[in-house]
């Protein structure tokens, strides 16, 4: 700062001297010119030195480093997404989103319900969900590709979400007409309210309702009986029947043996009686 003030003073002094040089008589000008000519190089040296010092002391602006995409930071900056942020953090889907954006080229699309959308849900609904269902709810708001506003009409319904491949229980239908985009889950009809964030890799769109999948409300069909158990039961029945047949065969054999002994005993008794009669 001191160098800057000193340099400015010297330049002003030089300017004043040049002005006086041209405003004085010729005889005096020669003397003054000689003095100024001797002073000029010194002033130039001081000026150049001061400029170099100032240039060295002035730091260059640091390049901006945006860093990796952070979905939580994006929603906090937009404001009004407190409930969604809490769910993203408790289910750890926020970490999953940031990781996917770093390691894949397809991008992601997030439909973001604001706090008003969550407040319109039935009281206690979120608390009634298990941890697995909360995770599925957030995944249902995520498309595994980047979709710009101009490309909604190119999607094929039902649109696959990151909640799963079951098109009946987890299907999402997207329709667009002009600038309006509508979403249908079979339970809820919602509308895209505007773009919260987009960078050609991640698109975040505000929706006026929480997207509830049909999976939460339609009863699942009962699971079929395991096949191995059925086969085992059949095997047991067959074994029991075989045992019954064997037992029946044993009974028949015993009866035949008794009958045979009886037939043999009768002739022996008759012969004994005849022998006894002749001995008399």
pLDDT of residue 223: 64
Q: What pTM value is reported for the model? A: 0.59
Lowest mean pLDDT among 89-93, 208-212, 247-251: 247-251
Average pLDDT, the chain: 75
Six-digit token pair at 277? Answer: 């009669």
Using CA atoms, how far apart are residues 56 and 268, in angstroms rounded to an integer?
142
pLDDT above 70 covers what percent of the chain? 55
> pLDDT: is 183 or 49 the higher one?
183
> Sign of the C-alpha dihedral, residues 159, 164, 166, 172?
negative
How far are the Cα atoms of 6, 48, 216 from residue 53, in angstroms, in the given order? 13, 9, 71
Q: Are 210 and 188 in contact (CB under 8 A)?
A: yes
Helix or strand (DSSP H, E) at 12:
helix 2-23
User: HEC profile for 55-102?
Assistant: HHHCCCCCCCCCCCCCHHHHHHHHCCCHHHHHHHHHCCHHHHHHHHHH
Structure tokens at 75: 């929603």
Least confident of 24-28, 114-118, 156-160: 24-28
Beta bridge partners of 143: 109
- Quick one: pLDDT at residue 61? 40
Query: Strand, helix or coil at 219?
Result: coil
pLDDT of 37 > 60? The answer is no
Least confident of 173-187, 208-222, 250-264: 250-264
Residue 53's pLDDT band (boundaries 50, 70, 90)? very low
CA triple 163-169-170, angle to 5 deg: 30
Residue 150 vs residues 36, 62, 112, 175: alpha-carbon distances, Å: 72, 36, 18, 12
| Residue 98 pLDDT > 60 | yes
Please identify which residue in the block is written with the tokens 């997030």: 110
């Amino acid at each position: 700062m001191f160098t800057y003030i000193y340099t400015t003073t010297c330049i002003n002094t030089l300017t004043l001297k040049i002005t006086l040089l041209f405003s004085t008589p010729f005889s005096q000008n020669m003397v003054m010119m000689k003095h100024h000519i001797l002073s000029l190089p010194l002033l130039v040296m001081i000026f150049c030195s001061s400029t170099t010092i100032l240039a060295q002391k002035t730091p260059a602006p640091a390049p901006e480093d945006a860093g990796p995409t952070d979905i939580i930071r994006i929603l906090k900056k937009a404001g009004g997404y407190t409930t969604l942020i809490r769910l993203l953090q408790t289910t750890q889907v926020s970490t999953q989103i940031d990781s996917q954006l770093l390691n894949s080229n397809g991008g992601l699309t997030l439909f973001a319900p604001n706090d008003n959308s969550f407040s319109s849900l039935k009281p206690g609904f979120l608390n009634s969900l298990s941890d697995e269902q909360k995770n599925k709810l957030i995944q249902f708001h995520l498309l595994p590709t980047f979709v710009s506003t101009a490309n909604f009409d190119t999607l094929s319904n039902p649109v696959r979400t990151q909640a799963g491949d079951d098109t009946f229980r987890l299907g999402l239908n997207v329709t667009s007409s002009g600038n309006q985009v509508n979403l249908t889950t079979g339970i809820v009809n919602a509308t895209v309210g505007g773009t919260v964030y987009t960078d050609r890799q991640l698109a975040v769109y505000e929706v006026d309702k929480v997207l509830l999948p049909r999976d939460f409300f339609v009863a699942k069909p009962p699971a079929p009986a395991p096949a191995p158990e059925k086969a085992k039961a059949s095997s047991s029945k067959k074994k029991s029947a075989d045992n019954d047949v064997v037992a029946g065969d044993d009974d028949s054999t015993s009866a035949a043996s008794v009958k045979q002994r009886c037939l043999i005993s009768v002739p022996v008794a008759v012969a004994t009686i005849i022998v006894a009669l002749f001995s008399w």
